[in-house]
Amino acid sequence: MSIEGTALSYTPALGAATKARQKLALTIPTLREAANLPELLRDVCAALDPLDIDYEILVVDDDSRDGTEEIVNAISQEDPRVRLLVRKGERGLSGAVLYGWRHTDAAILGVMDADLQHPPELLPALVAAILAGNDLAIGSRYTAGGQVGAWNPIRRWLSTVAVWATWPIQRAGIRAHDPMTGFFLLRRECIDGIAFQPSGFKLLLEILVRGPIRSVKEVPLTFGSRSQGASKANFKVGWDYAKLLARLYAERFGFGHRA
């Protein structure tokens, strides 16, 4: 069974492969989160600047029309490593992340949220984990030392159930305790040519199940409180997750397989 989506690829003309080996492209998908961006971009650059790695930050905005374009364009005038990509007529976090990754030649790809709940100061540890040879480095709420923050009991229970449901389809030996996080880095070679589901919010889970991942490092993450903007969790997000889970179960165990 195949999962519909657009396979990740990139144009070699964007940069030489040798130069891209130690280059990171961090995608930040946004939807009406302009107020967070000056602080977030400043803190991300402060975390990455001391590292011995080339990087660029790709703000992928789903046509928010809230000032995001003006803010990011002004910042990019001062620092060309910050780039803005705007999607028209499209929605969905996973699709925005994949869109950003298709517009870079970097060999190390990453994603973090724009709501200030993912701490930029964790980036050096994630980069170090990739440079040490791991295929995937995850900011994990559920590994030892991680915390989910000020969640109410219902949200904690729903998250626990959602994670538990992924256990049978994750591969033994590389199972992640937090396959639902939106803060991670990985090597491009682990996902090139794979067509991922562009809708929904749980891209990491699909990467873990479908990508040729050989090693995973989970770095403890303390999930912060939202600063600006509203949560994107709604019925459609839950429905997209249920459809993805069903497809991954079908692919993993051969239900409804077509030659």
pLDDT 10s digits, 56-99? 999 999 999 999 999 999 999 999 999 999 999 888 888 999 99
Check if the beta carbon of residue 60 is closer than 8 Å to that of residue 97: yes
DSSP-based three-state secondary structure for 243: helix
Cβ of 14: how many Cβ atoms within 10 Å?
11
CA 15 to chain centre: 22
Tell me how far apart the alpha carbons of residues 55 and 46 are, in angstroms, rounded to a whole number: 12
Structural domains of the chain ordered from first start: 6-226+235-253 (3.90.550.10)
Largest CA distance in the chain: 53
Element (H, E) at 101: helix 93-102
Element (H, E) at 85: strand 82-86
Residue 119 has pLDDT above 90, yes or no: yes
Handedness of CA 88, 91, 93, 94 (dihedral sign): negative
* Contacting residues for 86 by C-beta, under 8 A, at least 6 apart: 60, 61, 62, 63, 69
Q: Which of 210, 221, 13 is nearest to 94 (CA)?
A: 210
Residue 112 has pLDDT above 90, yes or no: yes
How buried is 150 (Cβ within 10 angstroms: 0-12 exposed, 13-18 middle, 19+ buried)? Answer: exposed
DSSP-based three-state secondary structure for 175: coil
Residue 12 has pLDDT above 50, yes or no: no
- Average of pLDDT values for 225-247? 67
DSSP-based three-state secondary structure for 133: coil
pLDDT of residue 227: 52
Cβ of 177: how many Cβ atoms within 10 Å?
16
pLDDT in tens, 132-161: 999 999 999 988 888 776 667 887 778 888
Mean of the per-residue pLDDT values of the chain: 85
Residue 185 has pLDDT above 70, yes or no: yes
Q: How confident is the model at residue 54 (pLDDT cuts 50, 70, 90)?
A: very high
* Contacting residues for 120 by C-beta, under 8 A, at least 6 apart: 40, 43, 44, 46, 47, 112
